[in-house]
Chain A
Amino acid sequence: MNTFSAYRPFPDATTGALAIVLVALPFVLPSVTLASELVVFAVGALSCTFLLGLVGLLSFGQGLFFGIGAYGAALILLHSNSGSLVAVLAAAAMAAIAAAIVGFLSVRRRGIYFVMLTLAFAQMGYFAMLALKNVTGGENGLTGVPRPPIVADLGVLAHPQAVYAFLAAICFLAFVLTQRVASSPLGSVLRAIRENDIRADALGYDVRLFKIAALAFGGFLAGLAGAMHTIFLGLAPPNTIEPEMSERLVIMAIIGGTGSPMGALIGAGFYVLLADFLSTLWPRWLMIIAFLMIAIVLFLPNGLWGSAELLIGRWKSHRARAVSPEPVDG
């Protein structure tokens, strides 16, 4: 089920598992709003998981696209009569366009230079938000964002449960779309680029164009998460576009593991729930997150989901060996 590491058919068992988890979340967590926060960040982390796991691109700019999605949705909802779904999709499209532009300017560079460029764009986006305070509200952000029905008068988002259902549906579609992309011929090319982009180029694929397309899709996912964040809270606070948001999404992706979209859900869940729990124990809880990050990178390089898959695989092969008797010679 390691969708990004190797080709897998679509849909697979994780698609069903995801649907079950999303339905169960509001019942097993202390509050439905906590479940909503989790699915928002799961989609945000998915953008990093997709780029890092499938294409091998480590982007520290996903916070910028998250912020564009958050502010884009807030501005659309504040200044137009569109429904929530239109606002979310339009904001995600804006983020995708921004990501394509950033990609166009940065994919010529590889490795650390690419990472630094995405970080620089993230910083620039934050300062642009501060500079455009008449549009973005500066350090106060945009508040009082309405939460209209999903489409026309259908799907009123008056209750936290309804908001969660809407966000969970978007989250599910985002994961399914990502799985579909990963299992498509496009996904195979992106996987080839991750493994050896020079060879992919020699085979006739326009590596630069494919990377830009991948970054645009990653930007779309991050923007989608930002727009979901605005719908969830009814505001676009400045921290949605801070460079720290990029770090947070990358950390969630790495904790969960970048080998499968499910890693994003696990990583986001782990981070959000742990932050909620640890902050009640110790004000400097971020240090514990940092410690866990180090431990996971050192001892669980496949992340939580990847390691769980590994354990399940070993257990299955062990059981298969135990069930089928050794062939007896002669």
Chain B
Amino acid sequence: MNISRRTALLGGASLLASPMIARAQTNKVEVVGIYSLSGTFANVGDLLNKGTVMAFDHYKTAAGKQINYTLLDDQGDAGRAVRRVQEAMGQGVRHVVGCTNSAIALAVAKEVHARGGIYIHMAGADEATGSQCNKSSFRWPGASYTAIRATLEPFMQANPAAKRWYTITGQYVFGESLLTNAKAVMQEKGLTNLGNSYHALSEREYSGYITAAMATNPDVLAVLNFGNQTVDVVRQAVSFGLKRNVKIVVPWCTGLDQYQAWGSDIVEGVYFGTNYWHGVESPGNRVLSEVVRAKTNNATNYLQACGWAVAQMFVESANKAGSLDVPDLTRAMEGLTYEGPTGTETVRAADHQVIKNYYLMRGKARSAMRDADDFAEILQATKAFMSPEQAGCKMA
């Protein structure tokens, strides 16, 4: 690490300047992004933030006012995130975007709501637009219900002979939520759930779970977890030779970055569910892909798309409202339809969930790849969302 005197002075200056976030000129709008730029989730937060920065650089203005974006580093800590948001809103900021995990998003959502702001995020927890929904918060991606319905149902339709299922699940709220939804779908379709293995959040070695799955001789192995654990389970399952006789389904996958981590030998023939794919042909995705390609010379990944999407939603709603006042923005956001990263997207007024496509994909053989990023083909795009009543959203 090399911290020059200039860097240190800049850091100090930014610290001293932080109370002045909102002392803006009237021709500017202050927007803060809350991401983990340090701590455990720094690698995720960095990419999400880059997506948001690229979007605001691209749009430049919202409702005719220049966007002034400030990043707040929550250090992967929900408490620190809330403190940072309290500080920013105490200085007059009313527009907040982003999050790195659900715990942070739910905490920030309450804070922003209590202080009369608007918050657009990408939390994975069903509660965000369910039991903990509120008037100020909007969520872009589909959550666990969407992932399971949009992945397993079309998969089951295309593979009617695959009747015996085994699941490996992360023992945390998100994994449990995926499992509950998966069991419901299996029950509805009359399929057999042979068993489930739970693994802990700290687990890195899964051979025991994989051999347990193999012992039951399943037709399908569903991997119900997220992040690096998904990468490790699938990698180890393939290295155990599971792919020869068993179909592997991963309903929650981040797409390109995970495919790159696996490589095409592992990805080939495996089924994935993902919120975003850079190859989708749509006007919104074309703009996003061009901007990301120009800035990074790479294809867009899910995290960049998420960061972009929340910023785009803010700009689109402000332009529709012609105002930056929170009540006007909220009204404009409810029912807003725009060309987003996955095609035409709509913000559902009843629970503030964006209704968008979720993709079932299948990994391609190396020989079928048209370019270095063409790891998988889209088999189906589905808008599968729980109704607000099912989700238990009572808008506060």
Contact = CB atoms under 8 A, between A and B. Distances in A.
B15 A30 contact: yes
Pick the most buried of A139, A234, A238, A275: most chain B CB atoms within 10 A of its CB.
A139
B30 interface: no
A285 to B, nearest CB: 5
Contacts of B86: 33, 160
Interface stretch (B102-110, B243-251, B323-331, B341-349): B102-110
A235 B172 CA distance: 20
Interface in B282-312: none
B224 to A, nearest CB: 15
A319 interface: no
B157 interface: no
A284 B38 contact: yes
A206 interface: no
6 cross-chain pairs, A with B, having the tightest CB-CB distances, nearest first: A237-B78, A283-B38, A283-B42, A138-B173, A279-B38, A281-B11
Given A143-B109, A275-B75, A279-B38, 9 more contacts: A31-B90, A237-B78, A240-B79, A279-B39, A280-B73, A281-B8, A281-B11, A283-B38, A283-B39
Interface string B221-234: 00000000000000
Nearest to A131: B171
A140 B173 contact: yes
Contacts of A130: 171-172
Contacts of A284: 1, 38, 42
A284 B42 CA distance: 8
The majority secondary structure among interface residues of chain B is helix
Interface residues of A, number: 37
Contact of B173 (A133, A276, A285): A133
A109 B32 CA distance: 50
B71 to A, nearest CB: 10
Interface residues of B, number: 42
Interface string A23-46: 000000011011011000000000
A88 B254 CA distance: 42
A119 to B, nearest CB: 14
Contact of B18 (A31, A239, A281, A287): A31
B14 A280 contact: yes
A322 B82 CA distance: 54
B15 A141 contact: no
A293 interface: no
A234 B114 contact: yes
Contacts of B38: 279, 282-286
Contacts of A283: 37-39, 42, 46
Contacts of B73: 279-280
